[in-house]
Structure 1
Amino acid sequence: MGAMQLSRGRRAAIYGLLVAGAIVAILAIFAVWTARQLLEKDNWDQTTQALIADDSIHTALATYLVDQVYTNADPAAKLRDALPPRLQPLAAPAAGALREPAVRAVEKLLDAPRLQVLWAKAASITHDQFIALVNNESRAIRENGDAVVLDVRPLIALVGDQLGLPIDGSRLPESAGVIKIMDAQQLDAMRTVVKLLKTLAIVLFLLALVLLGIAIWLARGHRREITAAAALSLIVAAIVVLLLRRVLGNQVIGDLANTSTGQAAADSAFAIGTSLLAKIARTLLLLALLLLLGAWLSGPSRLALRIRTFLRPALLARPEMVHGAVLAVLLALLAIGVIPGIRTAIAALLLVIVAVVDVEMVRRRTVKDPVGPVAPAAPAPAA
């Protein structure tokens, strides 16, 4: 049957479902990322480790720590006390001149396991604060302004010791070394969004599949074409997420970064913090491309017909062997990590499902193919 034989109402319903499926898929990607990035401790820990390993974040953090040490330890006064009276006027310029070498020294110090352990501990406590606040389980922090903070005072004390400017971390002012991640108003909005997305992460994902599945089911006689259209809608959804990540990143980074050092650190922090979002979108993109490949292989093109003709004996006589061979190859590729983006059990299961659907689409089309050799391409007309 030709596509034009579908009624106008059915065509409108099918393409409406495809558009709705793409929109829901976009929301599902953000929901899954939010749930996995913010609420799963393993992903949070991996992100914090990647942050401390980044060179630009090293520089920004080292600058911040040295600034805090200078503010709270007053190195100029310590130099003034150590110098003879005639050289004491040089104390302030000398302390200023030593600031940049101190930053470089702290950058190297941040590679030390001890400092990285302190950073990881501070980030882990921050995550615990966030989860407690989202779940309304944090009285102490609520009394302190209901904000999520990153407490790096132990780092400041350690850096001060290494620079010969000892600081008692417990006596630092409350504002020193406490980096506010979000305030009460932002937290209220985040709490609502996170709770909603935590609940809807799987629901949205399943809803997208249901919408696309209904569209394919309605297109009886045209299901290959609509399957290709469904794959294209998922490809568009993945691309939209990747574009939104770039646009939102430019907006967020532009609001946060005031210096070149801050710009580089903000760029890296945003890229690292949203890397899981990009991985989820790319995984969906890969799965959609594989589904589109199956739709093309079961289509009318001459090359697809030649491939089906080559596979015809196995597809018709032993289809289970073809399915088994495809699955064996996929599992082998997954075991050695060749397939990009497939790192979770759910992604691997979806890959297997798409592979099974592809093989079945090709097999069913092969049954309907004319028996006999494929006609050669028509020769080009003589000049």
Structure 2
Amino acid sequence: MDEHETTARPSPAFRRVAVRALLVAASILTLLSLVAVFARREALDSSRFADSSAAVLADATVRKAVAGYLVDQLYAHVDVGTELHATLPAQFAPLADPIAAALRAYADRGAADVLGTDAASTTFRTAVFHSHATFLELVDRRAGQVDTVYLQLRPFVLNLADQVGVGALARQELPANAGALPVVDEANVSTVRAWITRVRTASVWLYALSALLYVAAFLLSRDRRRALVGAGAGLVGVGITLLVMRAVGRTIVVDHLLVAGSPYRDAAGRAYSIFTALASSLAWSALATGVAAMAIAWLAGPGTFARWGRALLTPVLVRRPLVGWAAIAAGGVFSVLFSPLHDPSQIAPRLAVGGLVVGGYELIRRRTVAEHPGGGWTLAAVRARLEQLPSSPSALRHAQALHAQGLLTDEQFVTIARQSTDE
């Protein structure tokens, strides 16, 4: 048995405890860093927040709720019945109020249809972007005299008034704050300003600190493979915890902050799912990385199935290692092209995953080379082995399948068939 197959010496008690403590601490910091990255990229990035808001508006349930708000704003500030009474012929004037009530149902449908257009989506995204940028200016004390942030939906109310036929009156009677949805004021911002500063800092440094703890755990451990299993299990736990936190957050936002029967419950649930999609993506990334780490540790282990797995991969790991390196390089290029970096906080996790893949591949490759210095199995050897097997109906059927796949030549198949016939 060579040095690669020897069992790692057991670590002293203090070393084992220290490694486990480092892995637990690294997992906790990874969880906190993912939360901080989510908050930074989703809540503190005006462009991304505006994109998410536009995606929320694209949802039919949310559009219906927003349309209801716009209609409420119009009918609260404009007497549609009086305007119709003044414009209708005298004989139809008594019908002004019933017509106004009927128009309200039409306005609900019309507003929802308008909000579903590309032009409305662009206008809404711009309004959200400006309100969010003002919010960040308020946070950074760069907003001047502004002490309240509004989401300006007035253009949508005026557009709705034009559809109903009271556009001119709406422009005269609508107050300046009609359709201006208050989002946050200075009193609210002052309570979260310190936390926002911490989030901005934490999203950059927590990843680096957790990576250092993982490295320290590996350096301290005498059984690197077991340490890799522990790190992978920790990342799986991080991913599951983040998914649970997202589900609990939905319960708090939708079930506790909105009363039962509220017309906005469904819309709030859809909006929550869209705004927290990034958290779900981060959680599944942590899960996938953890599973990959444990799979690498298993494939590098001394178990029977791990040995079979390495033996199966000998053509690539031993004879054609550049094929594996090319696949890893292609994966890295694909990641950069189709998932570009948005901020510096993404650099550390990308490097960590890349290091895991590169290090894991090299670890498994070296172990496989030590076990199969001759290069392992070849297709020709498999064919020769099949020819040496005693012929039988089952062997003949197997040979027929291999021949159909082109893995046996006609001559080889005829030889096996003759042996089966002779028997």
Q: Quickly name the TM-score band, shorter chain normalised.
A: 0.7 to 0.9
Structure 1 residues 19-168: aligned runs within 5 Å: 19-83=24-88, 90-142=95-147, 147-166=148-167, 168=170
Q: Relative to 1, partners in 2 of residues 1:157 and 1:105: Cα closer, same or farther, differing over 3 Å?
A: same
Q: Deviations over 1:291-345 (max 9, x none)?
A: 22211111122221112123346545665x25523314524764896xxxx5647
CA contact (8 A) 1:66 1:102 kept: yes
Paired position in structure 1 for 2:276 = 274
Give the TM-score of the pair, scaled to structure 1: 0.85
Amino acid at match of 1:250: T
Structure 1 residues 300-319: aligned runs within 5 Å: 300-312=302-314, 315=317, 319=321
Amino acid at match of 2:255: G
The alignment status of 1:6 with 2:11, answered yes or no, reads yes
Q: Which 10-residue stretch deviates more, 309-318 or 91-100?
A: 309-318
The alignment status of 1:192 with 2:197, answered yes or no, reads no
In structure 2, distance between residues paired with 1:213 and 1:351:
13
Amino acid at match of 2:164: L
Structure 1 residue 367, shift from structure 2 partner: 5.3
In structure 2, distance between residues paired with 1:363 and 1:81:
86
- Runs of 5+ consecutive residues of structure 2 not aligned to the other structure: 1-5, 378-423
Structure 1 residue 13, shift from structure 2 partner: 1.4
Q: Relative to 1, partners in 2 of residues 1:336 and 1:126: Cα closer, same or farther, differing over 3 Å?
A: closer
Quote the sequence identity (%): 30
Q: Relative to 1, partners in 2 of residues 1:119 and 1:54: Cα closer, same or farther, differing over 3 Å?
A: same
Larger radius of gyration: 2
Q: Deviations over 1:87-142 (max 9, x none)?
A: 65553343223322210111111123332232122111111111101211012212
Q: Deviations over 1:256-313 (max 9, x none)?
A: 4344530111011111111112212222222222222211111122221112123346
Residue number among 156, 175, 178 corresponding to 1:176 in the alignment: 178
Residue number among 352, 355, 368 corresponding to 1:353 in the alignment: 355
In structure 1, distance between residues paired with 2:120 and 2:318:
63
Q: Deviations over 1:220-262 (max 9, x none)?
A: 1x11011111011011111111110110111012344344530
- Runs of 5+ consecutive residues of structure 1 not aligned to the other structure: 375-383
CA contact (8 A) 2:228 2:297 kept: yes
Q: Relative to 1, partners in 2 of residues 1:189 and 1:2: Cα closer, same or farther, differing over 3 Å?
A: farther
Q: Relative to 1, partners in 2 of residues 1:40 and 1:304: Cα closer, same or farther, differing over 3 Å?
A: same
Report the 3-state secondary structure (helix = DSSP H, G, I; strand = E; otherwise coil) of the residue aligned with 1:283.
Answer: helix
Give the TM-score of the pair, scaled to structure 2: 0.77
Q: Relative to 1, partners in 2 of residues 1:13 and 1:171: Cα closer, same or farther, differing over 3 Å?
A: farther
Structure 1 residue 66, shift from structure 2 partner: 0.7
Structure 1 residue 201, shift from structure 2 partner: 0.7
Q: Which 10-residue stretch deviates more, 131-140 or 87-96?
A: 87-96
Report the 3-state secondary structure (helix = DSSP H, G, I; strand = E; otherwise coil) of the residue aligned with 1:150.
Answer: strand
CA contact (8 A) 1:238 1:282 kept: yes
Q: Which 10-residue stretch deviates more, 345-354 or 224-233?
A: 345-354
Amino acid at match of 2:157: I
In structure 1, distance between residues paired with 2:60 and 2:97:
30
In structure 1, distance between residues paired with 2:118 and 2:323:
51
CA-based RMSD: 2.9
Paired position in structure 2 for 1:244 = 245
Q: Which 10-residue stretch deviates more, 209-218 or 254-263?
A: 254-263
Amino acid at match of 1:302: T
Structure 1 residue 17, shift from structure 2 partner: 1.3
In structure 1, distance between residues paired with 2:134 and 2:172:
20
CA contact (8 A) 2:317 2:324 kept: no
Amino acid at match of 2:84: L
